[in-house]
Chain A
Amino acid sequence: DIVLTQSPDTLSLSPGDRATLSCRASQSVSNTYLAWYQQKPGQAPRLLIYAASRRASGIPDRFSGSGSGTDFALTISRLEPEDFAVYYCQYYGSSPLLTFGGGTKVEIK
């Protein structure tokens, strides 16, 4: 089974800062099936990035995804107030067929 480990658990930053979130897979995975979501309290997750680096429809270009093999990252170039939330990475294609990382909370410093 592939396990996705996200770090850090919590990232304390200020508006305008750059945020870099990590997602590490327990074994090498295909870029094609790596996605990132944002979730705010009381809301459903929102797809940000798919295929490791492609922005979903309507997602601002301050969000970018990168990585390959076992190490992936979500970068928010300049944090806006509405970006403080929990972020999950997700992989498709192993057992279980779809798996999520444990999440990283981006909080206001």
Chain B
Amino acid sequence: QLQLQESGPGLVKPSETLSLTCTVSGDSMSSYYWGWIRQPPGKGLEWIGSIYQSGNANYNPSLNSRATISIDSSKNQLSLRLNSVTAADSAVYYCASDRGSSAWYYYWGQGTLVSVSS
């Protein structure tokens, strides 16, 4: 059973870069599709971006090219970097995955709350 665990700073200053890691256990990262999704407190879900093992990533245009997703298979880690953050980027950030499709996510981490504040 694939298990995902997000980690990273809980507090980031405005204009700085948010960096999160998703550590994967239970299976090899190859053959899975990966994504990051976020959820502002009390609000709905927003897709940030997706990546497959090839390294080709797709991003939500609403983020204005601020997001970068990468995979380090040797460390069993998925990473997210979001630069020039503002208070609007405060949210619970989830990593998610599916073995068979990039169109939905069966496996989810528990999420990590990131607040953007000075």
Binding site for B on A (CB under 8 A): 32-33, 35, 37, 39, 43-47, 50, 56-57, 88, 90, 92-93, 95-103
Contact = CB atoms under 8 A, between A and B. Distances in A.
Given A44-B110, A57-B106, A99-B47, A50 B60 contact: no
B103 A92 contact: yes
A32 B96 CA distance: 20
Interface residues of B, number: 24
A35 B96 CA distance: 14
Interface in B65-118: 94, 96, 98, 101-106, 108-111
Given A44-B109, A44-B111, A35 B46 contact: no
Contacts of B105: 45, 47
Contacts of B111: 44
A63 to B, nearest CB: 15
Interface in B23-63: 35, 37, 44-47, 50, 58, 60-62
Contact of B104 (A44, A47, A95, A99): A47
B51 to A, nearest CB: 11
A96 B44 contact: no
